[in-house]
Structure 1
Amino acid sequence: MLNWLGSTTGNLGGSWSGKRSAPTARELIEQQLEDRRLRDIRNVNRAVTSVLGVSGAVLLLAGWGTHAIGPVLLWAIASIAAGGAVGFLFGIPRAGGAVNPGGKTHSVAPSADTDAATGSSTVPSAAAAGGAPNSGGAELRPNTNLEEVSDWLTKIIVGLGLVHLQDLQGIVAATAANAAASLSANPTATQTSIATALIVGFAIEGFFLGYIYTRMFLQVAFARSDSDLRGASRDALEKLVESAPAQNLDASGAASLPSHEQRALAEQVEQLAISAPRAAIEKMDALAREYERTRSSMASGTERTQRMTDIVGQMTVVALGAESQLERLTASANPGDRLAAVVILKLRFNMKYVEWLAQRLVDDVPFIGFQAASALLAASRVLGRAEQDTLRTAVANAQQVLVDKKWNNDPPRDRLISQILGTAKVNDPAAQETNAGSAST
């Protein structure tokens, strides 16, 4: 069966390559790896066939000599099965864990439709938001229960084996006595020796067979399954990004805050990141590079700003899935990475980065400064009094630097800075009402 599988795979590969006259370098490497794997399988199958042939001959001789072919075969099968089960447990491959974002975070920042006074909102379901169904969430995550059980059992087996190493001879002798009893009512020393060799030999043989074939087949099958799962997650991620609503430039210069629909899509991407954490991270990195190319290749004007705003909208959908990379993005020298970090903090604010966000008002171009001011404004509406004071102090220091260097010449950004510094305290209902009215204009 294994040889048939190998030949079938080779035939499929041959017919596929016949349709494409010039395979890519990656395809050639994959084909070489597959050929090497099939060669290893054939070599192992030859060795296993030889061992099983000799073992079968020994079984027939032992059974014929003791007039108990049936019991000999049953005990040999039982020993191989027991050894194979242990080899299977030892050979199960381990899968890598999902990346979980850490750090102290606040709840998702209010959207553009959030009440400015309370900062509260209701997130619609994915279906209501018009997004794609959550086909790539937790239900698609690889189940690692078998791996955990394997890990526990192997440690238990090794631990008990070391503790009871002195008792091992007695356990084997008792088992061999039971096997010898199936050969004869009053087994001789020779029959007991045969039973002992049968038990030990076929158990070891079963262990190696179980271990080798588990490593050679299950490891590849698990890796391929996880790869297919990641591919499905990437496809689902692309659909979610494509379904992101278009963002139109606001002539009034209102803050750029995530909408309800964007936040619902971002939460779906966060679920996708459980099964394929690299998908969202790679997509965010690609969007960061796209922003840099757009800014460098297009002339300054409304068209370029609109395109960069569209990229921010796509980043918003991917943000929560790439949240684990926040520290790397904030430390990056690339403006696209810093913009990605700003977008992430816009959705899920983290007080650890308040000074960093305020510094973006000074150190980065006005577009990134505007996005950072939007994130700070959104955070100022949901933070407690002490955290609000810290945020305002950081923003006030940044504003002073802009004034001193005469860089306060970007009306949208500077208007948001003024709103942040004049934002009402959360415990002042009258001031909140005033701020809500000004934010809607």
Structure 2
Amino acid sequence: MAGVRRVRGQAAGSAQALRTVQRGGGAALLGVGVGGLLLFALGRDEPLQAIGGGLVVAGAAAVLGTALGFLFGVPRMRAGDPAAGARDSYVPNTNLEQVSDWLTKVLLGVGLTQLGSLGTRLRQLGDALAPALGGDAAVAPFAAALVLYFLVLGFLAGWLATRLLLPRALSDADQALDLFLAGQDRDRKGDKVGADDLRVRAMQHLGLLGTSTDHPGTVREQLPPAGDATPEAVVAEVRSTARRSALTAQQVRELFEAASDGRRIQALALMQGDPALADLSSVLDAIEHPRSGFEQYHALLAARGLVSRLATADWHRLRDAVTAQLVAADGIPYGSDRSWLAEKILARPDPAPAVPRQPTPAG
């Protein structure tokens, strides 16, 4: 495991270095282009006109190049293997990929057929743009070179951005949709807590919720062994086995009261899976005095499963504890997964006060 973590750390460091080089190189190339335009404009009779016209021409070329780079950089979707159990409930729309492929072939075909007249086309382009930069014959070559420079620069920027950012964005969107669909399936099966957990993870994939569930390094060691599974996956597995467990509510409470952080979270997972094993005092302790954001998150999940079962007095205790954590400076962060769960818990309406029955008049 240590070797795997070391390799992953080296890969992450290399990726960060590559991004730094790309940003630095892009800024340098942009600076060269803009600097050349400024130096050229300073030698003209109307420098402001040359600068303004040159910036517009350069910007238009860069936008066109970026659009071409996007078309050439749209990733292809890798088809899943049906034998490996690929999902068939959702198929991503590939229209963008098909349009990109079609336009790329058309542009390449047209470009290759016009390759022989490229010099003539460039001269015509320079002559057409020369008035915007000063108007004499010496401006035409610079105008054509300016267009080519920013066209290529925009193409490289668009292609790199598409290749680096779009696959991750599409992958995150697909994973989020999978999680939402899995959450709906859990909801239909009556697993409200598991459904909420999956919805939170889906919103985190989309960047709609911040994560505040970082767990101490000792938690993984103290949870039941599960190979390379993450602590989140282990907790979900414990939650799914709660109703089949032979543990009693007293044993789960004793498990929570153990000194181990991992045992406390394991007890909370069992309470999530089977509300009959839940102990409100333990849940409130983990909400009000959590040992980590990871523990408080799972305490809120356990409370979410208890909300509909609580008597009025116990509901008020839970409501007060959650509200206090929302307003505390070091409590539940705003916009986090914990705040989303807290708002869901507080959405339960207070029971209406009982209306005393009026005595029926005699006679």
TM-score (norm 1): 0.37
Higher CA-based Rg: 1
With the length of structure 2 as denominator, give the TM-score of the two structures: 0.44
